[in-house]
Copies of this chain bind each other. A is one copy, B any other.
Amino acid sequence: MRNAEFDQEKVLRSAMNAFMHKGFAKTSMQDLTKATGLHPGSIYCAFENKRGLLIAAIRQYREDRNTEFGTFFSGKAAVLTKFKAYLDHIVKECQSCDTAQACLLTKALSEVAEQDEEIQALITENLRLWQVGIAEQIELAKSNNELNTQKDSCHLARYFVMGIYGLRTFAQTRPEADVLKQLADQLYQDIFTV
């Protein structure tokens, strides 16, 4: 008997980063062994192949994002305040140049989904769950009387998600400093003020 020596979460976060920077196809196994510190054999033993590693990285990414979402929307502050903080956080993340700005889910969706039904389904499901979480918070804001609108929570959540997709793509065009913030503020206004 002997247990695996590496820390799976750390490995997956390294792989995640590599994939976000170079994309799936251009990230070679050599890149991945360097990024994760694992040797090819270990990677193939633990994740079957490069694609398996991507899938595992996507799952880890989802988990991390879930946790992040939880921290932003826990606590007793007003829901709309939380939304503002969440948006600001995303804007800052997009602006920080040194990490990959892109979201692994949308990046992988754009690159591999058309060729791979299983990954497409996995990503789509993750994005859907995120959207559901947002819809729940909007619903909560309504029942708290923070938000008075006729509009359906699901519709608003969809629009919010669309806005963030757009923001992320916009960020890749390297806009000037305050542009993303302005766009995010406008998005907030359009959704959360009557």
Interface of A with B (CB < 8 Å)? 21-23, 25-26, 100, 102, 106-107, 109-111, 113-115, 120, 123-124, 127-128, 155, 158-159, 161-170, 172-174, 179, 182-183, 186, 190
The 8 Å CB contact of A23, one of B111, B127, B159, B166, is: B111
Question: CA of A22 to CA of B22 in the docked complex: distance in angstroms?
Answer: 16
Q: Which residues of chain B are within 8 angstroms of A167 by Cβ–Cβ distance?
A: 162, 166
The 8 Å CB contact of A114, one of B100, B106, B111, is: B100
Min CB distance, A21 to chain B, in Å?
Answer: 6
Question: CA of A123 to CA of B169 in the docked complex: distance in angstroms?
Answer: 12
| B113 lies within 8 A of A110 (CB) | no
Q: 4 closest A-B pairs (Cβ-Cβ)?
A: A166-B166, A25-B25, A165-B169, A162-B166
Question: CA of A173 to CA of B190 in the docked complex: distance in angstroms?
Answer: 23
